[in-house]
Copies of this chain bind each other. A is one copy, B any other.
Amino acid sequence: MTDSITISVDAMGGDHAPRAVIHGADLALRERKNIRFIFHGRKEQIDPLLDEFPKLKPASTVRHCEAVIAMDEKPSQALRKGKNVSSMWMAIQAVKDGEADVAISGGNTGALMAMATFCLRPMEGISRPGIAAIWPTLRSDIIVLDMGATIGADARQLVDYAILGSALARSLFDAESPTVGLLNVGTEEVKGLDYIKEAGKILQQASGAGFTYHGFVEGDDIGKGTVDVVVTEGFVGNIALKTAEGTARQVASYLRTALKANWVSMLGAFFASSALNALRRKMDPRTVNGGVFMGLNGIVIKSHGGTDEVGYKSALGLAYEMARSRLIDKIGDTMQRFPVNTAPPELPSDSEAKSA
């Protein structure tokens, strides 16, 4: 890695590609000068757009790919059709080849995860990759994973997510020993599913190895920011994320309606408009855009497909931070500190405890 960060971009991924992607890169470059971009996609569409952004053009390389993965393509199909030829695959391949520090796409999540896993391979000791979300809370941003990379999990996979999530928290928040909680339906030791309890026991014993195990947390602890890293199985994580997004939109809609009730409330809204605009910016989903694919031999960021240039700017900023803070090294470091990182999915045995 040189002083500048090279981001490999699937220029064709997402609903408003390639315009929103290229425009977002221009916005990201204004905030951080030392980025270089490799855009993968249809040259005849990308080149005219780069002409519109004269500061971005000298920081960019374009690699032509004809094939584009559709948003509704099944992962297996996408992999068969798109391997070695599509803009999505080539964006990832550039990370594997060491040409870029991080890859990003706003395309089909399932296809991106399949290609990233196939091309970059899971890190040694990690059973399955996860997708981490950066979640704004009342305290500060926190990490929640898995957001749906994998449906279903066992104790060992939750432990993997805890290792990956705490490495990400150390990268992003400069926390030396981030707190980790397991999402459950009650905070008492007795409740919940067996695999979550088992993961809790393993994390309790390993607490201190690059993270501090907090215990079980409930759904409302996410918004409170009770812990730095919330670990959960992918189906549950995806439902929680989408439910929170829906609730935030719902409350914002209630607020708009309430303030339009009569002329006195409208006058109030006028005086409070700078405060309300600040709130709108804080709640703008575009400002926290980007899921981080964790547990592969390389960093891949998934942008929301429906976002605009502001959303891409955020996701590219996240990609930059992941590369700059050497996320992959931090994961490796956490894994080395973890006492059971190469053990089978069971508790440390008595004999280990004796020999220690």
CB <8 Å contact, A272 and B279:
no
Whether A231 is near chain B, meaning CB under 8 Å from some CB there, is no
A270 touches B (CB below 8 Å): yes
Q: Which A64-118 residues have C-beta < 8 A from chain B?
A: 72, 74
- A185 contacts B239, C-beta separation under 8 Å: yes
Which residues of B are found within 8 Å of A154, using beta-carbon distances? none
A222 within 8 A of B: yes
Stretch at the interface among A168-176, A213-221, A328-336: A213-221
- CB of A157 within 8 A of chain B? no
Say if the beta carbon of A190 comes within 8 Å of chain B: yes
Asked if B235 and A138 make an inter-chain contact with CB atoms under 8 angstroms apart, the answer reads no
In the complex, whether A245 has a CB less than 8 A from a CB of chain B is yes
Chain B neighbourhood of A253, CB < 8 A: 138
Q: Is the CB of A72 within 8 A of B218?
A: no
Smallest CB-CB separation from A243: which chain B residue? B219
The distance in angstroms between the C-alpha atoms of A152 and B239, with both chains bound, is 16
A163–B105 CA distance with the chains assembled, in angstroms = 42
- Which among A9-17, A21-29, A259-267 touches the partner chain? A259-267
Per-position 1/0 for A250-284, Cβ under 8 A of B: 11111100110110110111111111101100110
Contact B272 A190 (CB under 8 A): no
How many copies of this chain are found per oligomer?
2
Say yes or no: is A30 at the interface (Cβ < 8 Å to chain B).
no
At the interface, yes or no: A345 with Cβ under 8 Å from chain B? no
Measured between C-beta atoms, what is the minimum distance from A34 to chain B in Å? 33
Give how many A residues have a beta carbon under 8 Å from the other chain's beta carbons. 62
Residues in B whose Cβ lies below 8 Å from that of A282: 254, 258
Say yes or no: B278 contacts A250, CB within 8 Å: no
**A125 CB-CB contact with B under 8 Å:** no
The answer on a CB contact under 8 Å between B243 and A259 is no
A235 to B235, CA, bound (A): 11
Q: Considering only CB atoms, which chain B residue lies closest to A267 in the complex? A: B271
Q: What's the Cα separation between A279 and B259 when bound, in Å?
A: 9
Q: Taking the nearest CB of chain B, how far is it from the CB of A249, in angstroms?
A: 6
Asked if A273 contacts B278 (CB within 8 A), the reply is no
Q: A193-B152, A265-B272 are in contact. Are A239 and B219 (CB under 8 A)?
A: yes
Residues in B whose Cβ lies below 8 Å from that of A276: 258, 268
Task: List B contacts of A223 (CB < 8 A).
Answer: 243, 246-247, 249-250
CB-CB nearest in chain B for A225:
B250
A212 within 8 A of B: no
Alpha-carbon gap, A137 to B253, bound state (A): 10
Within 8 A of B (CB), among A179-208: 183, 185, 188, 190, 192-193
A-B contact pairs, 13 of them (CB 8 A): A138-B250, A183-B239, A219-B239, A240-B243, A243-B244, A244-B246, A247-B247, A251-B251, A255-B255, A259-B272, A262-B274, A267-B268, A267-B272
List the 8 closest A-B pairs by CB distance, nearest first. A268-B272, A219-B242, A268-B271, A223-B246, A220-B246, A265-B275, A219-B243, A223-B250
